Amino acid sequence: MVKIRIKDIAEQAGVSVGTVDRVLHNRGEVAEETRNKILGIAKANNYQPNLIARALTSKKQCIFASLLPTPTEDDIFWQSPLNGISDAVSELEQFQVKVSKFFFDHFNEQDFIQQTEAILALNPAGVVFSPIFSKESLEFTQKLEKKGIPYVFIESKIDQSNYLAYVGSDGFCGGRVAANLIDFGIPENGDILIINLAKNLENVLRLNERTQGFLSYFIDKGKNQGLKISVEISVSEAEIIKEKLDSVLANNKNIKAIFVTGSKVYKIARYLINSNISDIITVGFDPIEQNIKYLKQGSISFIIDQHPHQQGFMAIKKLFEHVLLNHEISKDEYLPIDIISQESIQLYKAF
């Protein structure tokens, strides 16, 4: 079937191309009889507008906003999704897509709130963010919805919100994968230490999901019958970690494995090396440079990768397809979970 063009519709309707363009794109005044005639011809011929061409010829900038924790040496994980966002913008440069990047202190809810207010004042065409703080993030989504601004979650999601899409791993499943790895490697009576490096854990969505998934594995099918000891360390300085873990390990001599729910597993690995402890299996998330270093040394047993670069990249592409191309968007885009070991790290290629 030959695809009909605006020029063909104009010829059939006996009007100018400009008149057809105004009707199809709802711009300017056109007589009702002429409008109905043009729309009838378009419908009869199954006219589909070339949305990509329209986006290319548009002179108007499309400004999205991103909101992520500030990448720091201590929290370098967030550089990867930020790089993914930048790569997506570079690919979409011809479409006049821009992203205003906002950052907040990973441990400061008030700073997060201030940045959300700045984004709302900007009134962007769409927002990409990670809902690290459950309560504050839910309040932000409600304000975005009130203004009609679509938003895409990365890294974790809030199910009770009306989000456009989520791109990331399944946190609950990631916790179960970690449990499965540990279950194979320790005695059935060995105890397991779960470490959350976070302040106000109840409000940190992704760490809770992973912890719940981890524990559910042992309830459902795990062979290990040892204690599951959970520790929250609100400050990640080496001295604080040492003080806390010295106490925990002194009081629990049977710990055979450590599960770190976030990307700072290297801080625990460093403690183990400095304490001359080499017989504990350690599992955490994200192949950042510091984690890879200790994986190669053997003080980290496994790293679970959740593809943060791809999360940032795909999130911007989804906003672009929804806002500029009016495409239907798949709501949940779950990325695969990769397990990286000392033996496979040389084959691993990160962005």
Asked if residue 285 lies in contact with residue 261, where contact means CB atoms within 8 angstroms, the answer is: yes
**Do 192 and 155 share a structural domain?**
no
- How confident is the model at residue 351, as a pLDDT? 46
Asked if residue 58 lies in contact with residue 96, where contact means CB atoms within 8 angstroms, the answer is: yes
**Do 107 and 12 share a structural domain?**
no
Segments of the chain with pLDDT less than 70: 1-3, 25-28, 47-61, 199-204, 349-351
- How confident is the model at residue 64, as a pLDDT? 97
Q: Cα(260)–Cα(286) distance, rounded to whole angstroms?
A: 11
- How confident is the model at residue 118, as a pLDDT? 98
Q: Report residue 129: phi and psi, to 5°.
A: -160, 165
Asked if residue 29 lies in contact with residue 15, where contact means CB atoms within 8 angstroms, the answer is: no
Going by C-alpha positions, the residue among 312, 311, 306, 310 that lies closest to residue 338 is 306
**Do 300 and 185 share a structural domain?**
yes
**Do 177 and 297 share a structural domain?**
yes
- 315-342: pLDDT as tens digits: 999 999 999 888 888 999 999 999 999 9
Residue with tokens 């589909």: 48
- How confident is the model at residue 59, as a pLDDT? 53
- The answer to the question of residue 272 being in a domain is yes
- 28-68: pLDDT as tens digits: 678 888 888 888 888 787 766 554 455 445 555 699 999 99
**Do 245 and 124 share a structural domain?**
no
**Do 33 and 126 share a structural domain?**
no
- The answer to the question of residue 349 being in a domain is no
- The answer to the question of residue 161 being in a domain is yes
- How would DSSP label each residue in 198-223? -SSGGGBHHHHHHHHHHHHHHHHT--
Residue 69 in tokens: 């924790």
Q: What is the pTM of this model?
A: 0.79
Q: Cα(207)–Cα(178) distance, rounded to whole angstroms?
A: 13
Q: For residues 214-248, b (16+ Cβ closer than 10 Å) or e, as one string?
A: bbebbeeebebebebbeebbeebeeeebeebbeeb
- How confident is the model at residue 56, as a pLDDT? 47
- How confident is the model at residue 1, as a pLDDT? 45
In the sheet with 281-285, reading across from the earlier edge strand, the strands are 228-232, 191-196, 255-260, 281-285, 302-305, 338-341
- The answer to the question of residue 344 being in a domain is no
**Do 164 and 312 share a structural domain?**
yes
Residues 6+ apart with CB under 8 A from 221: none
- The answer to the question of residue 345 being in a domain is no
- How confident is the model at residue 188, as a pLDDT? 96
Task: Report the residue count for the chain.
Answer: 351
- How confident is the model at residue 350, as a pLDDT? 54
Q: Cα(179)–Cα(276) distance, rounded to whole angstroms?
A: 24
- The answer to the question of residue 115 being in a domain is yes
**Do 191 and 159 share a structural domain?**
no
**Do 107 and 187 share a structural domain?**
no
**Do 157 and 127 share a structural domain?**
yes
Q: How many domains does the structure of the chain reveal?
A: 3
Q: Cα(235)–Cα(62) distance, rounded to whole angstroms?
A: 39
Q: Which residue range(s) make up the domain with 41?
A: 6-49
Residues 6+ apart with CB under 8 A from 339: 177, 181, 302, 303, 304, 305
| CATH value at residue 180 | 3.40.50.2300
**Do 38 and 88 share a structural domain?**
no
- How confident is the model at residue 131, as a pLDDT? 93
- The answer to the question of residue 343 being in a domain is no
